[in-house]
Amino acid sequence: MSAVRSCEPARRCSKSNRETGTKESVRLLNIYLDELEKKVEEAHTQLIKERKEITTVSLKNKFLGKEEQKPMLLDILKKGSMTFWEGNTMFVEKKALRIVSKDIVCNIN
């Protein structure tokens, strides 16, 4: 991710990762960076509270407010090595699933 802001390399303090100076533009940039840092920390804390795995992708999605979409069972099975349908039964890796109306009954042999 990028803050989409920049400063002169000579005015950047590597220790604090902020721009040095007293101009209004410097002050506003540093405030903006502080706010971004706080929001990332809040997203990290939320992931910890939700007991979710913390990765760069999950942190970025939480920060941006993107909810993870849980895959549907059929989508998961389609990604596997589905071979064929026979009537109402889908055969996947020697395991058969029989779909009866809206209920899913798993027959694992």
Looking at the structure, tell me whether residues 86 and 60 fall in a common domain: no
pTM: 0.57
Q: Is 99 domain-assigned?
A: yes
Domain extent, residue 56, equals: 9-64
Q: How confident is the model at residue 87 (pLDDT cuts 50, 70, 90)?
A: low
How, if at all, do strands 103-107 and 95-100 pair? Answer: antiparallel
Three-class SS of residue 101? coil
Per-residue model confidence as pLDDT tens digits over 17-46: 888 988 898 899 999 999 999 999 999 999
Q: Is 36 domain-assigned?
A: yes
Please return the burial class of 18, using the count of CB atoms within 10 Å of its CB with bins 0-12, 13-18 and 19+: middle
Higher pLDDT among residues 43 and 99, named by residue: 43
Q: Give me the helix-helix angle, 56-64 and 24-49, nearest 10°.
A: 110
Q: Is 2 domain-assigned?
A: no
Q: How confident is the model at residue 108 (pLDDT cuts 50, 70, 90)?
A: very low
Looking at the structure, tell me whether residues 53 and 95 fall in a common domain: no
- The predicted pLDDT at position 101 comes to 47
Q: Is 39 domain-assigned?
A: yes
